[in-house]
Structure 1
Amino acid sequence: MKKPLILLALACTIFYNPNLTASPANPATPENVVAAAEKSAQWHLQNPLKNLGIQRWEIAPFLDAMIELARISGQPQYWSEVIRLGNSAGWQPLKRMYHADDHAVGHAYLDTFIADKSKTWRLKPFKKHMDWIISESKKHSNGKSKGPSSPIRSFDWCDALFMSPPTLARLYSITSDKKYLEYMDSEFKWTHSLLWSSEDKLFYRDASYIGKKSPNGEKILWGRGNGWVLGGLAQILNFLPKDIPERNFYEDLFKEMSDSVLDAQQEDGLWRANLADPEHIKGGETSASAFFVYALAWGINNSMLPKDKFYKAVLKGWIGLLGNICESGKVGYVQPVGAAPDSFNKESTHAYGAGAFILAACEVAKMLGASQKIPDPELLRRAQQIYDASGICAYACKVPRRQDDLAWENSNMAFRIYGPALEKSIENSGIDVWAKSVAYPVIDKWYDDDLSGKRSYHTDHGEGLDAFKVADTVGLGGTGIFKDGKLYKSNVYKCSEIYWTTPQTAKFSAFYVYKVGQKTYSERKDFRLEAFGKTCEISSTFFEGRGALRWMELGNNKKAAPAKDIVAATGLLPQSKGAKIYFDKKTKTLCAKDTLAEKPFDMFIQISSLTEIEDSIKLESGEEIIALKPDSKGKISYKISYIWRN
């Protein structure tokens, strides 16, 4: 039975309470501290950072904070956001195997697994990833660091000590396998030997800052970098048994750093971007300050730090942080992504800053007497219920358990593309259509039922089915490069990224590589689907060589050269011999009136007004193709849609 669309629309709205206050008259009560955290959480959930990948390090502290906030507030909807984004990511890290940054989301994924160990798919991707790294590390002898391109001596910047070691500590706690502890211990201690300032009892950000001076002639000891480390130590210690000898190093380091951090606190309760030179970048920086408040409060709560020495400093830091929070709940004064002290202002914000603030609030609330009332398994059960009943309106997800598919849907349609596990199969970059006949989400259910052997999604059980033929064609809206009468297609996507959005929008990118004669090209294909939209928007940008992949590897494509003098193409594959094909040059629309599973089936591709059409062509394969001229940046844009009259 179809759910009423109005209920789906309501279910797509994130819980929001505008009456929460971030700056109460008495901010140092457990209730008011939690209220401030909730208000910030809700603002950032309603206003996700544009183009932030859900597996990136920047979002990891926010996911950690959603779990901690659910625990201290008793409100499971915050944990349901972790479930939503974890499902979208396939509970797996990004592509870069050794890079510590890509391990940071493992904190929240593994915490979610620990609360319900029956759902092993939340454990397997990260466990497999780390098992491979540890196995590879045994093949390397100790030598000069290669940084994040190597499985040993990899953490050559101090931020990495927040990203990867807490994930390894969790895996050790889950499995009791000492290989995770031994690898974490070896890598952490190597970083300590490289970057630790024994004089200051703090870390340099990386080796390039050893001996470097600020404009005032002082050392550069980055505030947020040390915040990452101290916050990471708190998380590591949460998962190390108290009776193992390895724990002593981390306890001693935590206490040493805490003393130095306490000394660096300024009169306004906050910390500066450069701990060694408060005048280098003036003003209290939120992300560093929040990580310090979080870690110091955690130390008090776990009897690691003396309350009489640190309590007032934590409260002073909390009050200072509240001054950096906007009335809306937005967390401001966050230094942007960087590797050293830099400027910031009231409007500068980021997910890691919001996450650090909420983590700090949760520990401060505990210090003031708050406690978790609902055990994790029950809290997660309720979060799962919220997620299952949410009627997610626009949804994209990676599916590593089904050969690296990437699928997406809204209330009207569903699609998928194929990933690296099918690189040697017939599938390529074509887009598959899932003919759904219901408004509510089906992707997770269809995969669950099919993979468990319960029932196949190739058969209609009242919700639709996958009967669309793609094979090695464009499917509906796949792309290629047209040259000398031939359409060159890419193999399956090399890598992909799903972006943080509200449930009203699904947005993601897939990256492809082409071989055209002796030349190599690459493509970044961006997808956007709105909750109740009738079309899926696609933009493809073509680059010389493997330039598109630099966006995934480096986080930008500034050095990637757009492909010149190529003819790009998109098109569709009719599903029956009786299909009628129409091409309207005025509206730039290609239409196929067809049948699918013996029901009327119409497909549409509409080219953007900004993209120039060169020709429309029918290939011997039966594919109907539109040849397109990319703009000066190598870009073409179009929309795809279908109607299945079941």
Structure 2
Amino acid sequence: MTKKLSTLLVLFISCQYLFAQGNLLKDFPEGFGPKEVGKRLAYRFVDRKHMLHAGKWISYPETFNWTGALKYAEKTKDKKLFSLLEARFDKLTADEKQLLPIMNHVDLNMFGSLPLEFYLATKDKKYLELGLPYADTQWQLPENANAQQKAWADKGFTWQTRLWIDDMYMITIVQAQAYKATGDRKYIDRAAKEMVHYLDELQRPNGLFYHAPDVPFYWGRGNGWMAAGMTEILRLLPKDSKERPRILEGYKTMMKSLKDFQSPTGMWNQLIDAPDCWPETSGTAMFTYALISGVKQGWLDQKEYAPVARKAWLAMVPYINEKGDVREVCVGTNKKNDRQYYYDRPRNVGDSHGQSPYLWCVLALMEK
């Protein structure tokens, strides 16, 4: 064989291998395709009861479940589904106004991301006018702010800063949506600055995050919020942002650690580094979303990470029951410096904490 033919053969084999790696996130067995899985989950949301925050306001899990279903309707051009979701939202703003979240907490301001998604889809300014104040007030210091909140604001951070890892999805998503809706870079820049602060304060050397500085446990969904938040901001953050290299570094370090801690089944456990802990679906889905996105966006090496993401997706889907409800979802969980507490947390079926990130995975898999 001539040297030229040998070189061409090596290139051909390399191209075939890369093509096969790319197909790992495209070709799935029957029942595992993202479009069919997404339909089961998105339509399931339509007939669900509201999941309220402390029994009073639309909760962040419901908000993200709703947005995921909405994005799926947009992606698949499912006009029927979109109409059902919009009708439910219009009922909320007309007949159920008491359920609209107020704008005084990180877990409530995130609601603005939902009307902003409706605005992006319809260009109807009523949605922009409803959603944008949730992003704006996150950086507008209230008159009754305490000393700590004032100190955060003086440093250029949101007064809602708490240094809880789930904040990095709650804050990021509403600011990112505001940036997409307006093109005003202040929204994405301030979210990026906040993200870097959280990374510097909370990320451990192995790339993972304790539930809180005083709670030294790697809780799955808590880490999932961080993984998804970094993913969302990296999707939008301009290449010239001075914060981008630090966020990308934090993201890659976390993804490497997650690859190492993936269980043989393809799932991640309730406590990520505890092999004897139970497989938990919401955290697994958040990690899988971050991994799929990283491979498709070119942040992660395809050869190394596409198999990890595929293995996770194939493990996740069987946890959806015949009704379209995800099983083995950890309930809402506050921090506690007690390892057994995390082992003993109740597990829900159909909880929006789990439904939402499954839809994020669907949407990421459907990207080209």
TM over 0.5: yes
The one of the two structures with greater contact order (alpha-carbon pairs below 8 A, sep at least 6) is 2
Asked if 1:249 corresponds to 2:246, the answer is yes
Secondary structure at the counterpart of residue 319 of structure 2? coil
Between stretches 337-346 and 154-163, larger displacement belongs to 337-346
How much does 1:265 deviate? 0.7
Match of 1:166 in 2: 173
Match of 2:304 in 1: 309
1:104 partner letter: M
Partner deviation per Cα, 1:128-172 (whole Å, 9 max, x = no partner): 343344232899899589999x94361321111111212112223
Matches within 5 A, 1:280-429: 282-339=277-334, 341-343=342-344, 348-366=349-367
Q: Distance in 2 between the 1:284 and 1:153 partners?
A: 32
Distance 1:66 1:136, change over 3 A: same
Q: Distance in 1 between the 2:359 and 2:230 partners?
A: 18
Match of 1:278 in 2: 275
Asked if 1:58 corresponds to 2:53, the answer is no
How much does 1:63 deviate? 1.8
Q: Distance in 2 between the 1:187 and 1:139 partners?
A: 22
Q: Distance in 1 between the 2:197 and 2:142 partners?
A: 14
1:207 partner letter: P
How much does 1:180 deviate? 2.3
Q: Residues 135 and 174 of structure 2 are in contact (CA less than 8 Å); yes or no, is this contact kept in structure 1?
A: no
Matches within 5 A, 1:62-141: 62-90=65-93, 94-117=100-123, 119-136=124-141
TM-score (norm 1): 0.46
Q: Distance in 2 between the 1:139 and 1:274 partners?
A: 38
How much does 1:238 deviate? 2.5
Q: Distance in 2 between the 1:40 and 1:237 partners?
A: 26
Q: Distance in 1 between the 2:149 and 2:178 partners?
A: 27
Aligned mate of 2:265, from 260, 264, 268: 268
Distance 1:86 1:322, change over 3 A: same
Q: Residues 68 and 359 of structure 1 are in contact (CA less than 8 Å); yes or no, is this contact kept in structure 2?
A: no
Q: Residues 335 and 343 of structure 1 are in contact (CA less than 8 Å); yes or no, is this contact kept in structure 2?
A: no
Distance 1:73 1:179, change over 3 A: closer
Q: Residues 119 and 181 of structure 2 are in contact (CA less than 8 Å); yes or no, is this contact kept in structure 1?
A: no
2:212 partner letter: D
How much does 1:122 deviate? 0.8
How much does 1:364 deviate? 2.7
Q: Percent identity?
A: 21
Higher helix share: 2
Q: Residues 158 and 206 of structure 1 are in contact (CA less than 8 Å); yes or no, is this contact kept in structure 2?
A: yes
Which 5+ residue runs of structure 1 have no aligned equivalent?
1-25, 211-219, 372-646
Q: Residues 61 and 352 of structure 2 are in contact (CA less than 8 Å); yes or no, is this contact kept in structure 1?
A: yes
Distance 1:309 1:124, change over 3 A: same
Matches within 5 A, 1:451-466: none
1:130 partner letter: A
Aligned mate of 1:185, from 169, 182, 192: 192
Q: Distance in 1 between the 2:86 and 2:149 partners?
A: 40
Q: Residues 43 and 329 of structure 1 are in contact (CA less than 8 Å); yes or no, is this contact kept in structure 2?
A: yes
Q: Distance in 2 between the 1:181 and 1:113 partners?
A: 18
Partner deviation per Cα, 1:258-288 (whole Å, 9 max, x = no partner): 1111111101100001112232xx3211100
Which 5+ residue runs of structure 2 have no aligned equivalent?
1-26, 336-341
Q: Distance in 1 between the 2:75 and 2:31 partners?
A: 10
Partner deviation per Cα, 1:515-552 (whole Å, 9 max, x = no partner): xxxxxxxxxxxxxxxxxxxxxxxxxxxxxxxxxxxxxx
TM-score (norm 2): 0.77
Secondary structure at the counterpart of residue 202 of structure 1? coil
Q: Residues 230 and 295 of structure 1 are in contact (CA less than 8 Å); yes or no, is this contact kept in structure 2?
A: yes
Count matched residues.
328
Q: Residues 43 and 81 of structure 2 are in contact (CA less than 8 Å); yes or no, is this contact kept in structure 1?
A: no
1:43 partner letter: R
Q: Distance in 2 between the 1:365 and 1:151 partners?
A: 34
Q: Distance in 2 between the 1:49 and 1:138 partners?
A: 32
Q: Distance in 1 between the 2:189 and 2:48 partners?
A: 40
Secondary structure at the counterpart of residue 284 of structure 1? coil
How much does 1:59 deviate? 0.9
Bigger radius of gyration: 1
Q: Residues 63 and 105 of structure 1 are in contact (CA less than 8 Å); yes or no, is this contact kept in structure 2?
A: no
Partner deviation per Cα, 1:14-39 (whole Å, 9 max, x = no partner): xxxxxxxxxxxx94469833212212
How much does 1:346 deviate? 7.3
Matches within 5 A, 1:459-474: none
Q: Distance in 1 between the 2:146 and 2:183 partners?
A: 26
How much does 1:106 deviate? 2.4
Partner deviation per Cα, 1:59-107 (whole Å, 9 max, x = no partner): 1221231133224433233333442343234399955434111122322
2:187 partner letter: Y
2:59 partner letter: R
